[in-house]
Amino acid sequence: MRLDKFLSDMKCATRSQLKKDIRAGLVTVNGEIVRQSDYTVDEKQDKICYKGNAYEYEKFVYYMLNKPAGVVSATEDKREKTVVDLLKDIGRNDLFPMGRLDKDTEGLLIMTNDGVLAHELLSPTKHVEKVYECTLAVPFDGIQKEALEKGVDIGEKKLTMPAKVVILEEKKIALTIMEGKFHQVKRMLQAVGNEVIYLKRVCMGGLALDESLQPGQYRKLTSKEVMLLQEKQ
């Protein structure tokens, strides 16, 4: 692979800027300064440094983010802080959120640059399970549970798919759904006469949120976790 392509794929800078920086001696390969943009590197073995920072080639990357409230699930926003802003220090600018969480919703969000996997997991035909912890305004009862598990009318052409409900406390449940309609969880609880006052996604596609991550913190997925998601394709 060409040196400038490697650094471009790592989103270090624009291709034109990289050419200038390479000529200026800001790039080393295995400890030696290289000034030719078309220099051939072995992306799997060579140690490549740009402005003193080492880069390892990864075509696709996957991060688990514990999304905090007050941050929007978008790649850019002129007024609001985005989930991409929370990962600015990893040296890549090609990440996007796999799906969306409402601004006031916390919890599991996968950040990646793998468009194919994201498309597969978000496809309505895949029915990927998503688990939410919901804190409610009023006590939750068996009648509401039965309704959610049968499917409820949230103003769409069809009822929601049957959900799974676990009552955790008088005003707290774990709700598992296999769809991703706009504000779906909130609309489902409204449909049974309740209201969500706090919402947190704790699982998606069998991948559980790492509870050691505080809101706003993130980590790379392990190879096992990536395989778990890929199995849903």
Residue-range definition of the domain harbouring residue 225: 62-123+207-230
Among the three residues 35, 55, 75, which one is the final residue of a domain in this structure? 55
Distance of CA 217 to the CA centre of its chain: 12
Does residue 102 have an active-site annotation?
yes
Same domain (yes/no): 139, 190: yes
| Confidence label for 35 from pLDDT (cuts 50, 70 and 90) | very high
Same domain (yes/no): 144, 187: yes
Same domain (yes/no): 139, 40: no
Q: Retrieve residue 69's tokens.
A: 């409230």
| Confidence label for 130 from pLDDT (cuts 50, 70 and 90) | very high
Same domain (yes/no): 214, 199: no
**pLDDT value, residue 160:** 97
Same domain (yes/no): 211, 195: no
Distance from C-alpha of 41 to C-alpha of 1, rounded to nearest angstrom = 5
Above 90 in pLDDT, residue 25? yes
Can you give the CATH number for the domain in which 43 is found?
3.10.290.10
| Confidence label for 43 from pLDDT (cuts 50, 70 and 90) | confident
> Can you list the positions of beta strands (E) in 68-209?
96-97, 106-112, 130-136, 164-169, 172-177, 196-204, 207-208
Can you give the CATH number for the domain in which 185 is found?
3.30.70.1560
Same domain (yes/no): 42, 135: no
Total number of domains in the chain? 3
Above 90 in pLDDT, residue 59? no
Same domain (yes/no): 75, 189: no
- Counting Cα atoms < 13 Å in the Cβ hemisphere of 212 gives 1
Same domain (yes/no): 187, 219: no
Strand partners, 149: none
pTM over 0.75: yes
Distance from C-alpha of 130 to C-alpha of 24, rounded to nearest angstrom = 50
Same domain (yes/no): 110, 147: no
Reported as a single tens digit per residue, the pLDDT across 78-117 is 999 999 999 988 867 789 999 999 999 999 999 999 999 9
Annotated catalytic residue: which of 9, 94, 102, 210? 102
Above 90 in pLDDT, residue 176? yes
Q: How many CB atoms lie under 10 A from the CB of residue 106? A: 22
Same domain (yes/no): 112, 221: yes
What dihedral angle (degrees, nearest 10) is formed by the CA atoms of 200, 205, 210, 216? -50
Taking residues 224-231, report their average pLDDT.
93
Q: Retrieve residue 146's tokens.
A: 């039965």
CB 41 within 8 A of CB 3: yes
| Confidence label for 68 from pLDDT (cuts 50, 70 and 90) | very high
**pLDDT value, residue 211:** 94
CB under 8 Å to 127, separation ≥6 — which residues?
A: 161, 178, 179
**pLDDT value, residue 151:** 97
Can you give the CATH number for the domain in which 88 is found?
3.30.70.580
Same domain (yes/no): 174, 192: yes
Same domain (yes/no): 74, 187: no
**pLDDT value, residue 94:** 86
